[in-house]
Amino acid sequence: MARSSADDMELKRACEAGILSKEKAPEKVVMCMRVAKGHSSGGTWAGKAGKLASRHSNMAKPRVLAVTTKQKGQKTKAFLRVLKYSNGGILELAKVYKIKHLNKVEVASNDPSGCTFILGFDNLRSQSVSPPQWTMRNKDDRNRLLMCALNLCKEVLGGIPKVVGMDIVEMAIWAKENTTTKVAQVATKDSLFESLVLEPDSQVALENDLVSQAEEEDIEALLGTYVMAIGEAEAFSERMKRELVALESANVYALMETESVVEEVLQGLEVATICVEDMDEWLGIFNIKLRHMREDIQSIEWRNNRLEMQSVSNVALGEELDKLLVFLQIPPEYEVSLTGGSFDEGNMVKNIEACEWLTSAIKNLEASNLDPCYAKLRAVREKRAEFVLLKCTFVRRASEFLRNYFPSLIDSMLNDKGNFTQKGQLQRPDHADMRSKCRTYARLLQFIKSLDKSCLTPLRKAYCHSLNLLIRREAREYSNELRNSSKASKSSTPSFEGPAGANQPAGIVDSPAEAYSKMITAFIPLLVDESLFLAHFMCFEVPTSDGSDSDEDSTSPKTSGASGSSAKPSNSSADLGVLNGCLQEMLDGIQEDFYAIVDWAFKLDPLSCIPMHGITDRYIAGQKAEVAGYVSVLLDDLETRITILFSRFIDDACFQIEKYERNVKQVGVVPYIPRFSQLAARMEQYITGSRDLVDQAYTKIVTIMFVTLEKIAQVEPKYADIVLLENYAAFQHSLYDLANVVPTLAKYYHQASEAYEQACSRHINLVIYIHFEKLFQFARKIEELMYNMSPEEIAFQVGMSKVDFRKMLKSSLTGLDKTITAMYRKLQKNITAEELLPSLWEKCKKEFLDKYSTFLKLIAKIYPNETVTSVNEMRDILANL
């Protein structure tokens, strides 16, 4: 006999490794065996899954069943683990069953060998699913595995599960007769319990006998009551033969004695057979009659059902036809409004109701909203065509009325002179009444768009063209009256041409920028409101604010922007383009009146561009409505025009400054420096908003001023530093107050200050070297020689002896008072700005003392024993002069 897999230690170690790879805590493998896994097709679990199980009954899969135990505290837990082979032939855990849930062990009846069994557990999720069948190699392996599991149940749980298909007593007898028993101890944490191990050739653990000692004694006592006399086989066989012959003889005799009784029974059976045959014949006749009756009843029920279904269908069909007729009939009052009614304001309520009905009726008869069977009906198709024709007729009549209504409404306003500015009286445009009349037909336009969107294009053009005539006339007359009634006069803007002292500006009179402010304040909010009203009234699919159709015009750029604020359009870019085209047609030409105001203001006072630019910039910042895009374009064009005009003025000023470069000789402060300070003071008074325009002008003018000044100074190089320091000083003096408050001018103020200091330093050094040339040339020679030799060696060089030093010192410092006086007169001679002389002389004395101090330090290193006038003595001499 082949060795059982229960004795395979390699298999046991492989099982322990497979379990340990999945479980954190180690478990003891009590027994493991190779089995074949199948599915049950009948028996206790043959339910809904029986058909599927029978399909897979022949698909056996190799598995390994392992009985394991695990210690948890003082309790021992037992498990039945199913392991399968992976692709690499390694055992891995496939299924785990807890032994405590084992409630049934059944040997399969369809396996004659008895090697197939089923294990039932009470915690399976679906009891309708058949549990797997396990097939062992032989009965001995089956008995060993089941005995091990049953013993664990009895030891750990105190009882065994239900056993079906095999005798538990026979199992116990098999265990004693076919195995040797040894006691093995299974260790727990706090105690030990003994197990029986069955060994034919290996060990199988059995915790206790399935039959207790008391039960075994009762069975032996019962068997002892029968004297079997089976001590010798031959004697027992002879005894059995004798008892069998005696038993047969007794049976034959008994049969012979009961012959009459048997005959009576046979007669009774014959009579019963005849009765049964008669009964069967009657039942056959009744069955035929019942079948005929059943067929008649079915036929009646079928006809009755047909009639009932037909009746219900007729009722439902009538209801559906009634509903359909509602869609197909045109109410008389609506038919009158749609075919020939008036579009006066009093009839618009009826017209709107008729439009609502027509729109709903056409929508209800669309194929997508109808049952497919209705959509093919001729009546429905004819009625749909009739509704479409009615729609075309109504849209044509409504469009023709509105195309005539808009020009007539605008003409009535054009003929009323009270709507426009009169001489001496500015009249702000007011379109509230016009919008109120137009709103009467807003719903009508919405229905026209819903019924036929193409009809909106000519209506939009008619409205925009008519409104363009009105707005252009209002703007033209308003602009003319602003210019005629303005008290602003031509301003004497500071010029950079002419002699110094000329072109002194007068104080600010009425600025022409005020007229521009009135013009833009009156019309920009109006144009924004008209743009928003057009987008709403003419049914453009663009977002507008809740207050877009307000009757009140905005009076400030902030209000105007708020009225036009809106969310970004989602998918309305195409409609937004069409709207911008309509806005251009409605407002085209009005920019000329704004341009006329700007040009007029510039001619009167070029500096008025500054406040006009500030006003325009504020309106641009407050303009948020995308539907008023043309207004933003108009404001951008105005800002560009103002910037160009102001740049032209700045360019002229720069050209006038550059003309000074071509003069033969300039003495003193150039005229454009004080005139720039006057211009800057005037420009600062005009600033009302952003400083960008003015700061750019400052940058351009001052840069040209400084470049031109440098070029003028180079005309006479001998006096270049004097020209620079006088003009840079004049620049600082004239712009001192403005530089404290204007950052841009402050930057150029500091630049002029640095240039002034540099020019002063160059000029002072020149004056000093002219009068003390020998002294500082000797010091320069010493410095050059010190690069190549030590100070002690310098006194022995040619021209550097003590005698030479004394001669140089005597010639330089003899008559020192006269020399210093001559140096002062040299400074005074070429300076035209007398106010600068004191500061220049102080700088000159300080510079001379610094150079003299450096000279003395050099002399002390070369001629330490020579007596020379000290710095303090020289300072006293300079102070006394």
Q: Report the alpha-carbon distance of residue 77 to residue 252 in Å, rounded.
A: 63
Residues near 216 by beta carbon (within 8 Å), at least 6 away in sequence: 209
Cα 822 to chain centroid distance, Å, stands at: 82
Q: Report the alpha-carbon distance of residue 444 to residue 585 in Å, rounded.
A: 23
Residue 267 has pLDDT above 50, yes or no: yes
Q: Each residue of 759-791: pLDDT tens digit?
A: 888 888 888 887 777 777 777 887 778 888 877
Q: Report the alpha-carbon distance of residue 144 to residue 410 in Å, rounded.
A: 112
Q: Each residue of 578-622: pLDDT tens digit?
A: 888 888 888 888 889 899 999 998 898 898 888 999 998 888 888
CB-based contacts of 848-854 (< 8 A; 24+ apart in sequence): 848/768, 848/772, 848/823, 848/878, 849/874, 849/875, 849/878, 851/768, 851/776, 854/779
Overall size of the chain counted in residues: 881
Per-residue confidence band for 3, with pLDDT thresholds at 50, 70 and 90 = low
DSSP symbol at 25: S
- Do 623 and 632 touch, CB atoms closer than 8 A? yes
Report the predicted TM-score, pTM, of the whole model to 2 decimal places.
Answer: 0.55
Mean pLDDT along residues 796-814: 76
Q: Report the alpha-carbon distance of residue 631 to residue 660 in Å, rounded.
A: 45
Diameter of the chain measured on Cα atoms: 193
Question: What pLDDT, on a 0 to 100 scale, did the predictor assign at position 196?
Answer: 37
Question: What pLDDT, on a 0 to 100 scale, did the predictor assign at position 640?
Answer: 93
Cα 473 to chain centroid distance, Å, stands at: 50
Question: What pLDDT, on a 0 to 100 scale, did the predictor assign at position 560?
Answer: 35
DSSP 324-380: HHHHHPPPHHHHHHHHH---SGGGHHHHHHHHHHHHHHHHHTSGGGS-HHHHT-HHH
Q: Each residue of 6-33: pLDDT tens digit?
A: 778 888 888 888 888 777 777 888 889 8
Q: What is the dihedral of CA 851, 857, 859, 862, to 10 degrees?
A: -140
Per-residue confidence band for 212, with pLDDT thresholds at 50, 70 and 90 = low
Mean pLDDT along residues 653-671: 75
Mean pLDDT along residues 242-258: 74
- Do 880 and 823 touch, CB atoms closer than 8 A? no
Cross-strand pairs, 75: 72
Cα-Cα-Cα-Cα dihedral sign, residues 22, 26, 27, 29: positive
Q: Report the alpha-carbon distance of residue 127 to residue 120 in Å, rounded.
A: 10
Q: Each residue of 499-525: pLDDT tens digit?
A: 544 444 444 445 788 888 888 888 888
3-class DSSP string for 520-580: HHHHHHHHHHHHHHHHHHCCCCCCCCCCCCCCCCCCCHHHHHHHCCCCCCCCCHHHHHHHH
Q: Each residue of 729-749: pLDDT tens digit?
A: 888 888 888 888 888 889 988
Q: Report the alpha-carbon distance of residue 128 to residue 333 in Å, rounded.
A: 71
3-state helix, strand, coil in the chain (%, to 5): 65, 10, 25
Residues near 490 by beta carbon (within 8 Å), at least 6 away in sequence: 603, 604, 605
Q: Each residue of 680-708: pLDDT tens digit?
A: 888 888 888 788 888 999 899 899 888 88
Question: What pLDDT, on a 0 to 100 scale, did the predictor assign at position 770?
Answer: 77
Neighbours of 614 (CB within 10 A): 21
Q: Each residue of 178-196: pLDDT tens digit?
A: 765 443 444 333 333 334 3
- Do 626 and 569 touch, CB atoms closer than 8 A? yes
Residue 223 has pLDDT above 70, yes or no: no
DSSP 614-631: HHHHHHHHH---GGGHHH
Q: Each residue of 717-730: pLDDT tens digit?
A: 777 888 888 888 88
Q: Report the alpha-carbon distance of residue 867 to residue 782 in Å, rounded.
A: 18
Based on DSSP, count helices (H) and strands (E) in the chain, helices before strands. Answer: 31, 11
Q: Report the alpha-carbon distance of residue 254 to residue 728 in Å, rounded.
A: 162
Question: What pLDDT, on a 0 to 100 scale, did the predictor assign at position 625?
Answer: 65
Per-residue confidence band for 647, with pLDDT thresholds at 50, 70 and 90 = very high
Residue 471 has pLDDT above 80, yes or no: yes
Tokens 């099982």 sit at which residue? 15
- Expressed in angstroms, the distance from the first to the final Cα of the chain is 143
Q: Judging by DSSP bridges, how do beta strands 91-98 and 102-107 pair with one another? A: unpaired
- Report the share of the chain in percent with pLDDT over 70: 78
Q: Judging by DSSP bridges, how do beta strands 162-164 and 102-107 pair with one another? A: parallel
Per-residue confidence band for 836, with pLDDT thresholds at 50, 70 and 90 = confident
Q: Report the alpha-carbon distance of residue 454 to residue 447 in Å, rounded.
A: 12
432-439 and 513-537 helices, crossing angle to 10°: 0
Question: What pLDDT, on a 0 to 100 scale, did the predictor assign at position 571?
Answer: 44
Q: What average pLDDT is seen over the chain?
A: 77
Residues near 375 by beta carbon (within 8 Å), at least 6 away in sequence: 367
Q: Each residue of 489-502: pLDDT tens digit?
A: 665 565 665 554 44
Residue 644 has pLDDT above 90, yes or no: yes
Residue 211 has pLDDT above 60, yes or no: no
Per-residue confidence band for 200, with pLDDT thresholds at 50, 70 and 90 = very low
Q: What does each C-alpha distance from 595 to 43, 429, 465 come to in angstroms?
A: 105, 19, 22
The three-state secondary structure class of 868 is coil
Question: What pLDDT, on a 0 to 100 scale, did the predictor assign at position 230?
Answer: 52
Tokens 């006096």 sit at which residue? 719
Question: What pLDDT, on a 0 to 100 scale, did the predictor assign at position 184?
Answer: 40
Q: Report the alpha-carbon distance of residue 463 to residue 409 in Å, rounded.
A: 10
**What does R_g of the chain's alpha carbons equal in angstroms?**
62
The three-state secondary structure class of 490 is coil
Question: What pLDDT, on a 0 to 100 scale, did the predictor assign at position 648?
Answer: 92
Q: Each residue of 119-141: pLDDT tens digit?
A: 888 877 655 567 888 998 888 88
